[in-house]
Amino acid sequence: MKFNYMRIQGRELSYVTQYPKGIFGMCWRMIYDGVMNEEDAEIFREIDRWFVENLPEPPMCRTGNQRVITFFKTATTEEMLKHIEPAMALLDKYSHPYDVVYTNFVGNIVYEDEFQVAVQLD
């Protein structure tokens, strides 16, 4: 079966969305909480910089207070997956549980570009 969307998410809920945190939220939280050592935190900051420079941020995600989550499009994200795998390795290193979710049903899409969709949560 072919899936159109993919999301890497944790098992803890985001305070804002009340939906499982995405990979960036999980990694930033481990940095803020002092879980990651400085070398690993810098690895993640480099990953984050690459995404900021190469992936458009949906306008509704910039404020941080809307109930919106994003999914990668599986058809166009091979390059991005190569860049996100080191972040997944950091989650593994620190035994932080996460799930990789593949789906064709994301809900109400409020933003779309070549690589991702943003979905408004109910």
| Two structure tokens written together for 54 | 């190469």
> Distance of CA 47 to CAs 24, 73, 81, 119, Å?
9, 19, 11, 23
Q: Does residue 21 sit in helix, strand or coil?
A: strand
In sequence order, the 6+-apart residues with CB closer than 8 A to the CB of 40 are 90, 93, 94
Over residues 26-83, the pLDDT tens digits come to 999 999 999 999 999 999 999 999 999 988 777 777 666 678 899 999 998 888 889 9
Question: Domain spans of the chain?
Answer: 5-120
Over residues 5-29, the pLDDT tens digits come to 999 999 999 988 899 999 999 999 9
Judge if pTM exceeds 0.85: yes
Q: Tell me what pLDDT residue 62 has.
A: 65
